[in-house]
Structure formats: C-alpha cells, structure tokens
C-alpha cells in the first residue's frame, strides 16, 4: 500500500534490507530473512528480531524507497506483505513517473514532486473507500470533489452525504447543494453568474424545525444564534431532516458533553460515520429504547418475519431484531405484541422444514421447555448461522464463568454482605446491633417484614387475591418470565396495579433485570465489599439523604431498611462512578427495596439508571431536561387549549421535572405512586409522558383560569395529592394514631382510571416518536447549557475589563470556536487534550463545577495573530511574542489559558492607557515570559545598538557646538527623569517590577522596531525609538557607574555601551534599568505616545478575525497533516 513518505537516514541500516530492483530514483527492497534459505545466519537473526517485536512494531517484508541522487536521505513511499502487491506499485512508478522525473534540473524538486503524487494517491484511495460505502460510489465521489473544491476545509472534514435543494433568502430561492459533513453543514449555489456559499458548524445550531409557509410546501429551518436558514425542495424531506438531526445531535454530544452523555463507540470516531452508519444507528437507538436493552448492545440483523402467537392462534407479522445478547420481536403496530428472548435463555436455534403454509421456519427453544416459531425469514440460512455463532460464543463464556466460579467457591467460603460503618456514637447495645446488620443479607423484600397494611385490611388482601388469579390466568396463556408475550391485555393488568406478591418478580421480568442478575452471580456482594470503607462525595451525599427516603414508611424508620438502602446506593456509586449518586436515586432505591430482594433491587436500579432513563442521572441531568423539553412540545401538539392560554410552558415543565425524576413518587400518595412504577416498568418513559399529559388534561380548565404560576402549582399539587387507589381508599399509608373507618370523605381520582385515561387519550404516542423528539430537543438543551456557561463566564469577566459587552461576547465566541477547531481537525491526542481541558473541577478534584473553555499554546497563538492590534512584520518575531504572552498569561502553569486571562490581555491592548500597554510589553521581556530556552536566538546575537559609538543620537547639523549643546540637553533630561522616577517608585512600592538587564532591553527595542514597521509614521517612530534607546542606555550605564564613581554622568565622559558578541556582556551583570525609567523615556517622544494611545477598533478586528479564523486554521492544520 502507499504510505505517507517517511524519511530513512540510512538506506541499508544494519544490513536489514536487500535491494531486489533499483533505478536512479527508486529502490524495491526485501526484508532480510524473508524469501531466502533459512540456513543463513543473518536471515535467522533478522527473522528472530521481527518475531520478538510487538505486532505494532513489526515491519512489512517489502518496501519501495524514493532516493535522490547524491543524497543520503531516502523516503519510504510504499510497503507490502507480498511481493505481488509491491510489484504493482513498482510498475506504476515506472510507467507513470520515472520518465517525468528526468526533466527536473533540481533533484530536490524530484522528491517534492514524488511525495506530493504519493499523497494524492493516498487521498484518492481514501475517497474511493469512502465512496464504495455509498449506494452510488461514482456520484458520491463527484460530490466529495466539489465539496473539497468549494469550501477548502481540511481533508479530515469527512463528507457524510449531500442533497439537492433550495435555500431561501427572503422570497428568493437559490437552487444548489446542501453538503452534510461530520462537523458542518454547507450550502453552495452558482446560478446566473452569482455564487452563494456558506458553512454552518453543527456546534452553532440551536434549533431544527420543519416549517410550512405559503411560498414553499415544506422546509427545514436551521437556526443559529445569529440567523435562520430555510431549505426546501428535497426529494425526501423525511430522510434529510432525520440525517440533519442525527448529525447535529452526534456532533453536539461529542463536542459539548463528551464525558456526560452516552455515545456509541462508532460515533465517537467521526471518521467512521457514513450515511449507512447513521441509518443503522437510528434503528439501534429505537430498538434499545423499545426493549430497554443495555446501552452496550450492538444491533446485527433486522429481518421482517411472522411469529406464532399461541394466545391469538395465528402468526403475527412484525420485525425480528438481533443483538449481542437478545432476540427481539415487535409487531408491525408498536406495542400490540412484543417478545424479548435473552440469548442466555436459549438452548438452540434450528431451521425447520419449509412448506407452503409455513415458509422458511426457524425454531427457537428456551430453557423453560418452550419453543418460538418464526416464519417468512429472508436469507434464513445466513441469519440462523449468525445467531448460532453468537449463541455458541455466549454459552462458552458462561461455561468458563461457571468453572471459575466453582473453583473460587471451593477455595473460599461465601462472603457476607457488608455495609459501611460510621462512628455515630452508638451505645454498646446499638453498636452490637449495627455489627449484626453489617453481616446480614436481606434475602426478602422489606415489605414482607414492614408491611404497612393493617391486620384487618381484608378488602386489600381480597383485592390482591383477585389480581393474583388474573395474573395466573395470564401466565398460563402468555407465558411467564422474561420471554412472555407482552400485549395490550397485560397493559390492562398493570394499570390495575401488580399484586404485592408478584410485584418484585414482574419488575425484574419487565425490565429484564433478571438476566443481569443471572449472568452476574456474586457481583453485588463484591461491589459492596469493594465500596466498604471508601469515602467520597457520593457516599457523603448518600449518608445525608438516607433518612429522607420515604421517612413515613416503617421500613426506613428502622436500621435494617437504612442499612440495605445504604448498601444498594454505595454499591451502585462504586459500580458507576460517572453517575455516582444523584438526588432522587434514594427514593427510587427505597421503593425497589420494599418489593424486591436486596440484590434484585440493585439490578433494578441499574436497569432504571442505565437503560430505562438514559442520561437522567449524569452530572448535569441532561436526559431529564431533554424530556422536559419534549414534554413541552407534546403539550403544544396535544393540549391546544392549555398551550394557547399558557404560552410560556416553562413553569409547567419545571413542575413536571420531579414527575420524571422520581416517577411521580414524590408527588403522589405512596400506594398510587407504586401503580405508576408498575406502568413504568412495562411501558418505559412513555408511561410517564402519557400520565403527565393526562394530569394536565384533567386540570386544563382550572389551569387556564389560573392567574399566576403559584396558583397553577397549587392546582396540580392538590390534584395529585388526592389521587388514590382501591387499596389506599381502605388502608392508610401509615399506621394511624387512632382507629378510623374505611370512609373517604374527599372525592378522589382513582389512579387506575387516570392511567387508563392516559392510555386512551395519548396511547398513540410511540417510542419512535419520543426518540425523534429527544434527538431534536437534546440540541436545544445542550445549547441552553452553553448559553448559561457563556453568561456566567461573561459575568465573571465583565467587571474586570472595559471591553463592551457586545465585543466581549464576540470574543468569547472566537475563543470557543478556536477550541472546537482543534476538536474538528486536530489529531486524536490534541483533540482529547482540548476536550479534557474544557472541564473545570474543584480543588479536591471530587466535584464537578462547570464546563470552562481553555486554550493551549497553539490555539492561543492562532488567536494572537488574528487579534493583536500591532501585527509584526516578522512572522518569527510575532511567534516569539505570542509564545511569551502565553507564558505570561498561564498563571496556573498548566499550559492552558482561560477566557478571563485572554480577555484581560486584550483589554490591556485595546482599552487601557499607554502606561499599561508599556507595562505589558515590559513584562514580555523579563522572566517568566522571557525564558532561558528562548526560541529566537537572533534576538541576543544581533543587538540593535552599536558597540563602538557614544549612546546619543547625532543630529543633521554639522556644528560641534550644536552637538555639545544636544548632549547637555540630554543630560538635563536625564537629571529630570531621575527625579521623576523617584516619585514613580513610591507609587509602585506595593508591586515593584523586576529590573531589566541589557540583553532584555535589546530585545524590548527590537520588539518596538517590529511593531512600527509598516506604520504610516514609520520614519518618525524609528527616529523616536532611536533617541529613546540611546537615552535608556545612558540611564542604565549611569545607574551602573554611579555606585563606583560617585559622580553623575557629564558631557566630557560620554557613556559607552560595552556589549560583547556571542550573547555575553562584560557589564551585563550590573547594567539594569527599571520599568519607570523606560516609561519616562518613551514619554519624551510624542510620536511614540501617539502610537500607543492611538485607538484601534476592536469590533472591526473581531469581524475580520471571524471571517478568516476558519480558513486560516484549516490551512495551517492541512499543512501540518501534509508535513507530518
């Protein structure tokens, strides 16, 4: 294969290579030891060396070198594992390049030409591989070439797909092409001699909508913080809108919250994203949400088929989805019939004889001696082989796990469960009781020991017995366990409330937490033991919330319940430190412990936090906020009257946040709230959306009549508090102080009726709709977080700078864009470092504070060149100043600059007076900004001041008397300045600046010369700085000589600058000047004062920087990739 040219200093180093073919410019070499008799010692040695080397360090046995006649340097341009592969490349070089190279007179041009050609071949291969993945490779290759030509982005900016469409500007449509890449969307149009093109980064997209107006049938509106763009005339607007939403969602999750939001491994590598990958990912997200599968599951096959459903006595048409560990079936009508079969439960997958009535049947047998029949499967043979391959792999892993577990069991005794021990001042008896609890495992649900119901609650027990019989009938018809058929009938049973005796089992079944429990035997006990004794922020928060979890329930007024809750929460925090512990987890875990065994409660909590409520419990609760935004849109779509009367739905969504986070447990009476949890485990988050809409629908009239937010809150609170159940109507939630009758004087809404009402009115809401809405609304939520972060950053900085709020906001955007550019096109290591630098933690490193953008040295140098008000004529000198500025601003010495430090630097340059600007320049020429390892040695080796003349500027007049008078004037100025400096020193007593030696002052002068080059007043500035330079050198010499001679400088003894060559000076150790002396000298020249006090328009500079930032950085990064 072709390789990026890599230098080889010795063409035959250590005699490891043998030349097979050669000419004036190319060598084909074979690795010694390959393809030769094994009896040769050299071949054996090289072969042994290659065998010992790690696979990443091994070299291919054949290679082609580019050599330039007369040069000792060669370049590896191709390699291969087989001689046939390398011979093809060799023949191509002979037929296409060799004859052309003879015309070059300069042999160095030969190397540049060949290396460029090879890189072009590599790029062409990459395009070819990318195009081959598309449905129409030729058409995609043409679009890719146009994309690269029109926009000039780096080659790493991968094009995903493109569409023909119209972009509307007012009432005028522009026909062109919309290009969608991994980081940007770009539009190009060229009609009637007019070109229109623009690029929108996904990171700037704040909203995606489908709109319809009178002028266009339907359009996609893309909103940023600056403007809106509308695109229409798509061939398939549904597909286009879906791809745009996916790419924006993926980019924002990767760029704005890579550490918090879960993102598939494939999508974490942008270079691998294609249109086909996006389509597969959309189906995968839907399947994971529909069946609530673990996020790590990979989707393999999607096949249309029919399944025999015994309860309906027929085959039900639907779709089969296969993943790493599951076979999933869903009927064509979502929710009508679903089936989940864990592969761990499967015994065999076999093909049966095909007939006209049962075409292409497949039989899946499970451990419960049941079998499921699938028919009408396309590509049945390949599908069955793939499923059996995964089944065999899983069974082998299970057998290995069991053998290891059995061996460990023989060597060690069973370990008890543990809990944390906290010194809380127990008495001896209490301490003994606590010790017992620490070694006790709760093998039963807490409700069995701490039952709330009264002994005489015959009505409740009778109701439970009726429910149990109904469920037994259901089990006999639809099956029992995780692979039972889930239909609308079970939905009605769940709405009635699951009986207490079956609640824990069915929760485990419906959530498939039972599979996790079976495949991780002993995992919970190990997590408890590992977490024992560890103290962290999570454990501190858990301890604080333990007694706030269902405080009215007897189970959590007892040390047994508290100890179990502590174990579950701390074990989960140890299992998943990314989540750790989040408020409301204690309430969920408490309810789970009431109806499930302790270990089962742990796995139920895992299922809820990691599968059923993804991203709900991360550091910024993004998932819950996304669902609140989705809930607002559902209110607008389905509750029109309420949306019209309350345009701002943020109040309602703020109230409903606790509904989603706690599954209504914090707002409903306990017995009613458990019914909601039952529905949640059956339907997932869809149940909470439906119930929330039903609650608002039931109170629409009162909410529309409410006058303020407080009244609306009271309406919803009072309604939810009186939602009861058949059990609660006769049974109080806690043991009463005195006897009461089973009479409920308050008119209540029955929870079963409310749940059934939500099914009837909003049952058409599907998981697919929710997932699509989440994708769009996640963009809004993440961008809202970015706006908050920006507001906080500007508020923090604005009090310390004089830059206008508008300019400060624009500077923040430039600063943030520079960070994103490194993520777009930087190499993997630099992108990872940039993203890691964007998160700020507390001093202890345990608690997350907020996202804070910071720039490293290359990023800062890029912005320096765009925003500095005095661009240097020398790129090398500007680079040196940028490096020193970064070192000066990096006060934390972590090689990162914050926005506050960046804004303070620009404020000095654009808004402060001459004194502060000179002070900044002074700081740049003394340590720590000026380091010993200065990159530009010419600053020291080439002093600006002559070493053989007096340090004063001679004037044009030729009279000696005039010269003497001028010297006298300078001596008078010197005396006056020394007096002024004494006053200045008094002002700077608090923060005295270090003195500057002669070498540092020479560099300071060179910087000023560089700043003045190209200015309109260049000549006057050069003459002024020459005068100031001579004057300061005289001051420095006078300060050096005065202590030894005790006399002032006079005209008879002009001061000489004794600067030794080679960077060392005989008098350097004592020659110094202060900042005040330099400032006073500069103030004597009006030209210099005018230059530094000249106002520079920061707004114009920002506008120019915004226009050139992308192209400049894209060019630099492209150049870096080509030279690397």
Phi-psi map region of 690: left, alpha, beta (phi>0 left; psi -120 to 50 alpha): alpha
Contact between 897 and 886 under an 8 Å Cβ cutoff? The reply is yes
Q: Is the peptide bond before 928 cis (omega within 30 degrees of 0)?
A: yes
Pairing of strands 219-224, 228-232: antiparallel
**Helices and strands in the chain, H and E counts:** 42, 28
| 1075: nearest Cα among 908, 913, 917 | 917
Mean pLDDT by 10 residues, the chain (1124 residues): 77 69 88 63 53 48 85 85 86 84 78 83 65 66 88 87 89 89 94 88 94 76 93 91 94 78 74 89 93 91 94 93 94 92 93 89 92 92 93 85 58 40 40 49 72 54 88 91 90 92 94 90 89 83 88 87 92 90 91 94 95 86 92 94 88 89 93 95 95 95 89 92 71 42 56 94 94 94 92 93 95 92 73 61 43 86 90 76 93 90 94 92 90 50 37 41 52 62 51 86 90 87 93 84 45 36 47 91 92 92 89 64 48
440 CB neighbour count, 10 Å cutoff: 16
Contact between 882 and 860 under an 8 Å Cβ cutoff? The reply is yes
| Cα distance between residue 141 and residue 127, in whole Å | 7
pTM given for the model = 0.78
Contact between 936 and 884 under an 8 Å Cβ cutoff? The reply is no
CA 931 to chain centre: 35
Long-range contacts, stretch 142-146, CB < 8 angstroms, 24+ apart: 143/177, 143/179, 146/177, 146/188
Q: What is the pLDDT of residue 948?
A: 34
CA 104 to chain centre: 50
| Cα distance between residue 94 and residue 23, in whole Å | 9
Angle between helices 137-151 and 107-132 (to 10 degrees): 130
681 Cβ partners below 8 Å, 6+ apart?
A: 506, 507, 510, 511, 612
3-state helix/strand/coil string of 688-742: HHHHHHHHHHHCHHHHHHCCCHHHHHHHHHHHHHCEECHHHHHCCCCCCCCCCCC
Distances (CA, A) of 251 to 157, 551, 827: 13, 44, 17
Angle between helices 685-698 and 751-762 (to 10 degrees): 100
Token pair recorded at residue 630? 């989705």
User: Where would I find the beta strands (DSSP E) of 808-903?
Assistant: 839-841, 848-851, 854-855, 897-898
Token pair recorded at residue 415? 């370990």
| Cα distance between residue 187 and residue 233, in whole Å | 14
3-class DSSP state of 491: helix
- Residue 972 burial by Cβ neighbours in a 10 Å radius (0-12, 13-18, 19+): exposed
CA angle 653, 728, 552 (to 5 degrees): 70
| Cα distance between residue 1093 and residue 824, in whole Å | 39
11 Cβ partners below 8 Å, 6+ apart?
A: 17, 27, 65, 67, 74
Contact between 951 and 1034 under an 8 Å Cβ cutoff? The reply is yes
Pairing of strands 723-724, 749-750: parallel
CA angle 51, 56, 59 (to 5 degrees): 60
| 289: nearest Cα among 657, 777, 686 | 686
Please state the φ and ψ torsions of residue 347, each to the nearest 5 degrees.
-95, -40
965 Cβ partners below 8 Å, 6+ apart?
A: none
How far does the chain reach from its first CA to its final CA, in angstroms?
A: 18
Q: What is the pLDDT of residue 680?
A: 96
Contact between 222 and 242 under an 8 Å Cβ cutoff? The reply is no
Task: Give the count of alpha carbons within 13 A of 313, CB side only.
Answer: 0
| Cα distance between residue 388 and residue 380, in whole Å | 12
Please state the φ and ψ torsions of residue 690, each to the nearest 5 degrees.
-65, -45
**Eight-class DSSP state of 13:** G
| 784: nearest Cα among 64, 287, 206, 319 | 206
Q: What is the pLDDT of residue 443?
A: 67
3-state helix/strand/coil string of 314-362: EEEEEEEEEECCEEEEEECCCCCEEEEEEHHHEEEEEECCCCCCCCCCE
């Amino acid at each position: 294969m072709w390789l990026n040219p890599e230098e080889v200093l010795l063409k035959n180093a250590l005699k490891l290579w043998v030349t097979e073919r050669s000419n004036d410019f190319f060598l084909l070499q074979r690795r010694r030891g390959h393809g030769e008799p094994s009896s040769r010692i050299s071949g054996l040695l090289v072969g042994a060396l290659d065998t010992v080397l790690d696979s990443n360090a091994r070299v291919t046995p054949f290679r082609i070198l580019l050599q330039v006649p007369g040069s000792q340097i060669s370049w590896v341009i191709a390699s291969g594992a087989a001689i046939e592969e390398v011979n093809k490349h060799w023949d191509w070089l002979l037929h296409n390049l060799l004859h052309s190279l003879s015309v070059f007179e300069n042999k160095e041009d030969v190397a540049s030409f060949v290396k460029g050609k090879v890189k072009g071949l590599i790029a062409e291969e990459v395009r070819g591989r990318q195009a081959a993945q598309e449905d129409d490779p030729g058409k995609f290759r043409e679009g890719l070439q146009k994309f690269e030509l029109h926009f000039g982005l780096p080659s790493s900016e991968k094009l995903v797909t493109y569409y023909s469409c119209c972009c509307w500007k007012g009432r005028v449509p522009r026909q062109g092409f919309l290009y969608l890449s991994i980081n940007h969307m770009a539009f190009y149009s060229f009609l009637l001699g007019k070109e229109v093109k623009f690029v929108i980064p996904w990171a700037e997209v704040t909203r995606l909508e489908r709109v319809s107006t009178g002028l266009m049938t339907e359009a996609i509106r893309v909103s940023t913080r600056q403007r809106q763009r509308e695109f229409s005339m798509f061939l398939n607007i549904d597909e286009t809108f879906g791809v745009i939403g996916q790419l924006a969602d993926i980019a924002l999750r990767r760029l704005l919250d890579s550490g918090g939001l879960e993102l598939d491994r494939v999508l974490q590598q942008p270079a691998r994203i294609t249109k086909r990958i996006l389509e597969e990912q959309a189906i995968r997200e839907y399947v994971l949400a529909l069946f609530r599968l673990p996020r790590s599951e990979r989707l393999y096959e999607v096949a249309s088929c029919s399944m025999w459903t015994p309860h309906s006595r027929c085959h039900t048409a639907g779709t089969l989805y296969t993943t790493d560990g599951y076979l999933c079936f869903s009927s064509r009508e979502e929710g009508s019939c679903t089936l989940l079969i864990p592969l761990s439960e499967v015994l065999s997958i076999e093909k049966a004889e095909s007939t006209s009535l049962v075409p292409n049947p497949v039989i899946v047998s499970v451990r419960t001696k049941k079998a499921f029949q699938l028919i009408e499967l396309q590509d049945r043979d390949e599908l069955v082989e793939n499923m059996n391959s995964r089944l065999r792999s899983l069974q082998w892993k299970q057998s290995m796990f069991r053998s290891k577990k059995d061996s460990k069991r023989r060597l060690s005794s069973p370990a008890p469960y543990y809990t944390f021990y906290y010194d809380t001042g127990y008495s001896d008896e209490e301490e003994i009781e606590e010790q017992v609890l620490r070694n006790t495992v709760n093998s039963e649900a807490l409700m069995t020991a701490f039952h709330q119901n009264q002994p005489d609650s015959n009505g409740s027990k009778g109701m439970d017995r009726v429910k149990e019989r109904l469920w037994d009938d259901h089990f006999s018809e639809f099956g029992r366990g995780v692979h039972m058929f889930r239909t609308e009938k079970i939905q009605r049973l769940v709405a009635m409330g699951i009986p207490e005796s079956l609640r824990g089992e069915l929760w485990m079944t419906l959530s498939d937490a039972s599979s996790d429990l079976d495949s991780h035997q002993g995992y919970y006990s190990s997590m408890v033991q590992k977490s024992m004794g560890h103290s962290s922020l999570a454990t501190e928060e858990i301890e604080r919330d333990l007694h706030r979890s269902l405080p009215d329930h007897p189970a959590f007024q007892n040390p047994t319940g508290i100890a179990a809750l502590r174990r579950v929460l701390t074990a989960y925090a140890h299992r998943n430190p990314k989540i750790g512990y989040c408020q409301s987890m204690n309430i969920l875990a408490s309810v789970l412990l009431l109806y499930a065994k302790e270990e089962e409660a742990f796995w139920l909590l895992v299922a809820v936090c990691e599968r059923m409520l993804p991203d709900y419990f991360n550091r910024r609760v993004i998932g819950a906020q996304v669902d609140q935004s989705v809930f607002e849109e559902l209110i607008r779509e389905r509750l029109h009257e309420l949306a019209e009367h309350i345009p701002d739905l943020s109040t309602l969504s703020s109230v409903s946040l606790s509904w989603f986070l706690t599954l209504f447990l914090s707002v409903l009476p306990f017995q009613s709230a458990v019914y909601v949890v039952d529905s949640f485990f059956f339907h997932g988050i869809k149940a909470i959306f439906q119930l929330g809409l039903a609650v608002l629908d039931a109170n629409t009239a009162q909410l529309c009549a409410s006058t303020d937010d407080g009244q609306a809150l009271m309406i919803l609170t009072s309604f939810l508090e009186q939602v009861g159940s058949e059990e609660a109507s006769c049974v109080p939630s806690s043991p009463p102080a005195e006897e009461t009758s089973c009479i409920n004087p308050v008119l209540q809404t029955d929870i079963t009726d409310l749940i059934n009402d939500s099914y009837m009115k909003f049952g058409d809401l599907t998981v697919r709709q929710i997932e699509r809405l989440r994708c769009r609304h996640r963009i809004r939520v993440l961008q809202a977080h970015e706006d908050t972060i920006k507001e906080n950053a500007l508020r923090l900085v604005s009090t310390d700078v004089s830059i206008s709020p508008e300019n400060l906001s624009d500077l923040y955007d430039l600063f943030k864009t520079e960070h994103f550019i490194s993520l777009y096109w930087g190499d993997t290591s630099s992108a990872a470092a940039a993203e890691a630098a964007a998160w700020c933690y507390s001093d202890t490193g345990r608690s997350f504070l907020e996202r804070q953008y910071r720039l490293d040295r290359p990023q800062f140098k890029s912005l320096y060149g765009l925003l500095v008000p005095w661009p240097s004529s020398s790129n090398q000198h500007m680079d040196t100043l940028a490096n020193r500025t970064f070192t000066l601003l990096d006060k934390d010495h972590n090689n990162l600059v914050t926005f506050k430090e960046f804004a303070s630097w620009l404020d000095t340059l654009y808004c402060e007076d001459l004194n502060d600007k000179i002070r900044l320049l002074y700081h740049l020429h003394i340590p720590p900004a000026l380091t010993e390892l200065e990159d530009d040695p010419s600053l020291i080796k080439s002093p600006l001041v002559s070493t053989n003349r007096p340090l004063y500027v001679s004037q044009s007049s030729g009279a000696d008397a005039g010269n003497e008078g001028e010297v006298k004037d300078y001596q008078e100025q010197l005396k006056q300045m020394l007096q002024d400096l004494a006053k200045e020193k008094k002002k700077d007593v608090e923060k005295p600046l270090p003195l500057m030696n002669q070498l540092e002052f020479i560099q300071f002068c060179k910087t000023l010369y560089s700043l003045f080059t190209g200015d309109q007043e260049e000549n006057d500035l050069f003459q002024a700085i020459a005068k100031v330079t001579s004057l300061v050198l005289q001051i420095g010499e006078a300060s050096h000589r005065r202590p030894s001679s005790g006399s002032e400088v006079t005209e008879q003894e002009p001061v000489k600058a004794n600067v030794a060559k080679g960077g060392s000076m005989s008098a350097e150790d004592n020659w110094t000047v202060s900042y005040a002396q330099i400032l006073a000298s500069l103030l004597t020249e009006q030209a210099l004062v005018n230059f530094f006090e000249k106002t520079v328009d920061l707004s114009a500079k920002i506008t120019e920087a915004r226009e050139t930032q992308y192209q400049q950085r894209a060019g630099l990064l492209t150049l870096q990739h080509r030279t690397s």
